[in-house]
Amino acid sequence: MPDNKKFYTLFDNENGNSYEIPVLDGTVGPDVLDITNLYKESGLFTYDPGFTSTASCKSKITYIDGEQGILRHRGYDIKELAENSNFMEVCYLLLHGDLPSTEDQNKFRDAITNHTMINEQLMFLYRGFKRGAHPMAIMVGVVGALSAFYHDSTDINDPNQRMIASHRLIAKMPTIGAMAYKYSIGQPYVYPKNELTYSENFLNMMFAVPTQKYKVNKVLAKAIDKFFILHSDHEQNASTSTVRLAGSSNANPFACIAAGIASLWGPAHGGANEAVIKMLSKIGSKDKINEFIEKSKDKNDPFRLMGFGHRVYKNYDPRAAVMKKTAHEVLEELNIKNDPLLEIALELEKIALNDEYFIEKKLYPNVDFYSGIILKAMGIPINMFTVLFAIGRTAGWVSQWKEMIEDPIKKIGRPRQLYIGENTRSYKPEEKREKISLFKRLWFK
Ligand code: ACO
Q: What is the rounded distance in angstroms from the CA atom of residue 171 to the CA atom of residue 64?
A: 27
Share of the chain above pLDDT 90, in %: 84
pLDDT value of position 272: 83
Instruction: Give the residue-averaged pLDDT of 50-59.
Output: 96
Tens-digit pLDDT profile for residues 202-221:
999 999 999 999 999 999 99
**151: annotated active-site residue:** no
Q: 364 CB under 6 A from ligand 1?
A: no
pLDDT exceeds 70 at position 174: yes
For residue 51, the Cα-to-chain-centroid distance in whole angstroms is 16
Residue 432 per-residue DSSP state = G
Query: CA angle, corner 272, sides to 267 and 278, nearest 5?
Result: 105
pLDDT value of position 440: 67
pLDDT value of position 328: 87
Atom of ligand 1 lying closest to residue 269 CA: 50
Question: Closest Cα to atom 4, ligand 1: which residue?
Answer: 304
Decide if 60 contacts 49 (C-beta within 8 A). no
- 158 Rama sector, left if φ>0, alpha if ψ -120 to 50, beta otherwise: beta
Label residue 3 by pLDDT band (50, 70, 90): low
Q: 311 CB under 6 A from ligand 1?
A: yes
pLDDT exceeds 80 at position 436: no
pLDDT value of position 4: 55
Q: Which of the residue ranges 36-50, 89-103, 299-313 would you say has the lowest mean pLDDT? A: 299-313
Atom of ligand 1 lying closest to residue 309 CA: 37
Q: 239 CB under 6 A from ligand 1?
A: no
**25: annotated active-site residue:** no
Best residue for ligand 1 mutational test, from 311, 357, 385 (most atoms within 8 Å of Cβ):
311
Check the CA dihedral 64-70-73-79 and report its sign. Answer: positive
pLDDT exceeds 50 at position 1: no
Among candidate residues 73, 115, 231, 310, the one labeled active-site is 310
User: How far is ligand 1, taken at its centre, from the CA of residue 93, in Å?
Assistant: 31
